[in-house]
Amino acid sequence: MVGSKSSESPKSAASHSPRRGSAQVPPGAREGPIEADPHQEEEESDDADSAIGEGDNASSTASLTESILEYRTLNGRTYHSGRLGSDNYWGPNDERQNEAMDMNHHFMTLCLGGKLFLAPLKDDITKVLDVGTGTGLWAIDMADAYPNCEVIGTDLSPIQPSWCPPNVKFEIDDAEQQWTYAPNSFDFIHMRYIVGGISDWTKLFKQAYNALKPGGWIESFEPEADYRSDDGTLKPDSAMMIWRDLFAEGGKRLGHSFTLITDDTQMKALEEAGFVDITVRDIKVPVGTWPADPELKEIGQWFQYTLEQDLEGYVMFMWTKVLGRSLEEMHVFLAGFRREMRNRSIHAYLPQRVVYARKPETAGS
């Protein structure tokens, strides 16, 4: 599947089984700037349109009570019920966004070189927790990879599939509330793309520390909403810079930071929680198919697929509810963002960071 352009649709390629983790360096974690493909400098690409349609494709633990299914609605989009935890989580939970999350799972797996995680887990792990599981694909893949391991996925919304391996289960939970898991019970706790949903990362990691067995591992994989370029092709007045400012300002108003990499939040909070053997991997994710490297070209293509699937859903809450801007302005902004994303002469990338760490063997809860 690696190449300048995937011959598979997002849905078919996403069904490929990812591998377990290892110490291999992820494609975007290589040193230095990403080399651009000189043969793809035409201004605009229609790769995303040909794959997913025109523009945005139209296409502690609680029981599943009716109140949890009473979703909030904002401009026709639904968000998790305010009856469970905070009503300030910025991401929708409707079908359109869920499709984007499914695609995002494949994209993030590609970012790790086809792996589900980077932490050095043993083969005999027996219990794993996936915090913020979304549509549950990571938990399902993990359960398939470790059939003798129980995998629990938690999320604010019951949007996970009913079909899944017998060793995986999903629970509705707010990770910001007091955890109810027994101390020293998990071998591995995984968190991915929950940026903007956490007000206190140290508290979160301390709860994970208590729930992990001595010697157990935690892994946090997060992006920063800050598009960058190494060659000056991304201009200060670009729509991508407006995106950065939107989430920086919105995050401040919500009390949920979107600048985890700039602030070194993950590493600092893991240290404060008591973890050791902390390893940091920084990854550059190209926007679109402009890189010369085939692996990075494919990653950039899938990142573009994921964004194009639901650009509106990514910014709606922050743009209208938090910052009080109009829908008309939002659609004008998104049109400009889409043009930049398809412009192969703009060599933009998004920074991401994977941090994994170990609870000391000598630690209690």
Confidence of residue 72 (pLDDT cuts 50, 70, 90): low
Chain segment 82-139, per-residue pLDDT in tens: 654 456 676 667 778 878 888 989 999 999 999 999 999 999 999 999 999 989 999 9
Distances (CA, A) of 155 to 41, 115, 135: 41, 22, 9
User: Number of H helices and number of E strands within the chain?
Assistant: 10, 9
Confidence of residue 196 (pLDDT cuts 50, 70, 90): confident
Residue 74 CB contacts under 8 Å (≥ 6 apart), including other chains: 92, 316, 317, 320, 321
pTM across the whole model: 0.82
319 and 253 Cβ atoms separated by less than 8 Å: no
SS3 assignment, position 236: coil
SS3 assignment, position 286: strand
Confidence of residue 40 (pLDDT cuts 50, 70, 90): low
Residue bearing tokens 């549950």: 136
According to DSSP, the residues that pair with 169 across neighbouring strands are 152
Q: Comparing 72 with 304, which gets the higher pLDDT?
A: 304
